[in-house]
Chains A and B, each alone.
Chain A
Amino acid sequence: MLVQAVVLHSRPYRENSQLVDLLSDQAGLIRALFRGKPASPGLTPFVLYECKLAAGYSDLYFVHRAEPLKVFPQLVGRELYLALYLNELTIKLIKNLADGQFLQGIYLKVLTRLAQSSERYQQEALLRHYELILIEELGVKPDFNQTQNGETILDNQFYCLDFDNGWLKSQPTEANSVPGRIVKLIDAADFSDPDTLKYAKRLMRSWLDHLLGQQPLFTRELFKRIKT
């Protein structure tokens, strides 16, 4: 199988091999074994490769050949941490290999824009957009146009998200209540209004925590520690 794949993570395996998590254009997230040359850097995260893959054991593939197609502008500092967050989130959320099949395009777009922009508002908007697409790709995003009872979401009404069943009418005073107008803007990934971004951050954080279960996100811990 010939795929275009970006490396999300690599860890050394024995002396010259690596276990890599690849986000591919055809098969979503792939776990593969790559045997490199001695002292070569091997497959590197944030590089898009053309890979020739062969089926291995169970879900594990073997990378027979890998040619770099595109190297993203070098990610450093805060932008690197943001990109590592994308990778950790993707690997921890995608369990089923069929999921993530259409994710590569948006991942590459977000990565390119992260490397180009150091404007924090823009970066946060990019992360929220990616999180939303990732959840959609997992097939667990409810309808943002109507409540779980089939009622249309209204601009001036407040709603709470029941992660497993969809939106429910709520009171403005309830924790995690979101105005209907904002629900629609989040659905459209329109974060031009700072209020939308603020609500989206709070919503996505609790939604992702729900989806991750007991798995912590270590990149979040790093962000807290560096106090950026």
Chain B
Amino acid sequence: MLPPILEELIQALRLLPGVGPKSAQRMAFLLLEDKAGATALASALQQAVSHIHRCQRCQNYSQTDICHICQQPERIKLEQICVVSSPLDVLSFEQASLYQGSYFVTHGLLSPIDGIGAEELKLDQLEQLSKQLSAHGELILALPASVEGEATSYFISQFAKQHACKVTRLAQGLSAGRELANADSRTLSHAFSGRTQI
């Protein structure tokens, strides 16, 4: 019913999270109505795909071989590496302005059943970075509180221990403003086991 090129565009738009067939159709027609905007979007996409790649040190997305964070000697000198599973997590930390060290982005979590192992997450590279840390260095594990996050944290902590580097993880438990009765059992279990004296 629709021209094949338009069908192809609609199909391509469905790649985006939360975009179903109807939303994709609306987006495609909107882009056709706004030719200048559509051209700018196509050009930006092309540029990003061609020029954004992973930082050779931390694996975060970068336009240069080494990203702007890893290029700052004062951040590297702090000898703190915060391990996150997604580039979005780096943004969250940076926006909160609470951390001045460097990062390592795993782009996923260990999941044996899905065939995702240490190689896919470049954990060998993280191990090399942890070897370069002194006894004062620290690996901060900021991975999701899921089974896969726990498996990945354990794997990293095992090799970090061999290199005598300190490993910490973010506190886990109830989120601010959330009612206890609404917490799921796993969250409650984390919060309970991590309770602190007041």
Contact = CB atoms under 8 A, between A and B. Distances in A.
26 contacts: A11-B111, A15-B17, A21-B113, A40-B184, A41-B186, A45-B147, A47-B186, A68-B184, A71-B186, A74-B189, A74-B190, A74-B193, A75-B150, A84-B112, A84-B147, A87-B113, A88-B112, A91-B113, A221-B117, A222-B112, A222-B151, A222-B155, A226-B154, A226-B155, A226-B158, A226-B159
Contacts of A226: 154-155, 158-159
Interface in A74-116: 74-78, 80-81, 84-85, 87-88, 91-92
Interface residues of chain B: helix, strand, loop or mixed (majority): helix
The 3 closest A-B pairs by CB, nearest first: A218-B112, A71-B185, A219-B112
A222 B116 CA distance: 10
A47 B117 CA distance: 24
A115 B117 CA distance: 24
Given A45-B147, A218-B116, A222-B155, 18 more contacts: A11-B111, A14-B17, A44-B184, A47-B186, A74-B186, A77-B154, A80-B150, A84-B113, A88-B112, A88-B113, A218-B115, A219-B112, A221-B112, A222-B110, A222-B118, A225-B118, A226-B155, A226-B158
Contact of A44 (B112, B114, B147, B158): B147
Interface string B114-137: 111110000000000000000000
A227 B129 CA distance: 20
Nearest to A16: B18
A39 B176 CA distance: 15
A84 B154 contact: no
Looking at chain B, what size class is its interface with the partner chain? 20 to 34
Interface of A: 8-9, 11, 14-15, 21, 40-41, 44-47, 68, 71, 74-78, 80-81, 84-85, 87-88, 91-92, 217-219, 221-222, 225-228
Nearest to A90: B113
A45 to B, nearest CB: 5
Interface residues of chain A: helix, strand, loop or mixed (majority): mixed
A18 to B, nearest CB: 12
Contacts of A76: 150, 154
A9 B113 contact: yes
A227 B158 contact: yes
B113 A81 contact: no
A221 B187 CA distance: 30
Contact of A80 (B115, B151, B186): B151
A218 B117 contact: yes
Nearest to B157: A77
A44 B146 contact: yes
A15 B23 CA distance: 14
A190 B140 CA distance: 44
A11 B117 contact: no
A41 B112 contact: no
A45 B116 CA distance: 17
Contacts of B151: 80-81, 84, 222
Contacts of A9: 113
